[in-house]
Amino acid sequence: MKKPFDLSLYLVLDPDLCDPMGIAETTRAAVAGGVTMVQLRDKRASTAELVEMGRALQAVLAGTGVPLIVNDDVDAAIALGADGLHVGQDDCDVRSARERIGPDMILGISAETEALAAAIDPAIVDYAGVGPVFATATKPDHKQPVGLDGLARLVAASPVPTVAISGLKAEHATSVLAAGAGGLAVVSAICGKPDPRRAAEEIAEAIAAAREDRKRR
């Protein structure tokens, strides 16, 4: 059965940024601070290395209910029995990915344009990472940032739940949720911070405040 997921505060791990504390301890602290999903992303790692890192993360996440998503590497996701897989438009064919991982794994895809967002098949894909909203140094090869207005258009075009990606911080929570996204995906806003738990708490608190404000309107 597919694990329930909450896109509110989606941590994308960067092993280099996390190096001072390590990805496992960074994740432990961040989840304690309110992170709702964790993605393991390391484009330079081999499948075996991703599996090793993933096992350490699974031990940290056990009992928390927070899903572990593997970026790009289908073989690693399968070997781990991960909760999910996230692929980019250029990583692999999403239909083939679904066939390989089966029906019970969460499947996310990146969408940088309205056309790509609109083309998502909700029978195959569970959520979309939409953006980049802002420029970020953690992914220097990203497409042209779309800004908050562009984010709203991507969200509107997507037939599946969305999480906003790229350059996001606590201060953006209100604007991102107002654009219709289900949450914020962050890297450097948590990874490499001296206190990842407090960094996560600040973003989680901003998201909760933004949602409460929207309810009152």
109 in Cβ contact with 87 (< 8 Å): yes
| 217/214 Cα distance (integer angstroms) | 5
Contacts for 63 with CB less than 8 Å, ≥ 6 apart: none
Beta carbons of 202 and 186 less than 8 angstroms apart: no
Kindly list the structural domains of the chain, giving each domain's residue range(s) and its CATH number in brackets, ordered by start: 9-216 (3.20.20.70)
pLDDT score for 141:
59
Q: Helical H runs in the chain?
A: 23-32, 47-61, 74-80, 94-101, 114-118, 147-157, 173-178, 196-216
- Nearest Cα to 61, choosing from 84, 95, 94, 44? 84
Estimate to the nearest angstrom the gap between the alpha carbon of 142 and the chain centroid.
Answer: 15
Q: Which residues are catalytic?
A: 41, 110, 139
**Predicted local confidence at residue 140, as pLDDT:** 56
Q: Which residue from 76, 18, 65 is spatially nearest to 193, judged by alpha carbons?
A: 18
The one-letter code for the residue type at 147 is G
Tens place of pLDDT for every residue, the chain, 217 residues?
899 999 999 999 999 999 989 999 999 999 999 999 999 999 999 999 999 999 999 999 999 999 999 999 999 999 999 999 999 988 789 999 999 999 999 999 999 999 999 999 999 999 999 999 998 766 655 578 999 999 999 999 999 999 999 999 999 999 999 999 999 999 999 999 999 999 999 999 999 999 998 777 7
The whole-number pLDDT of residue 159 equals: 98
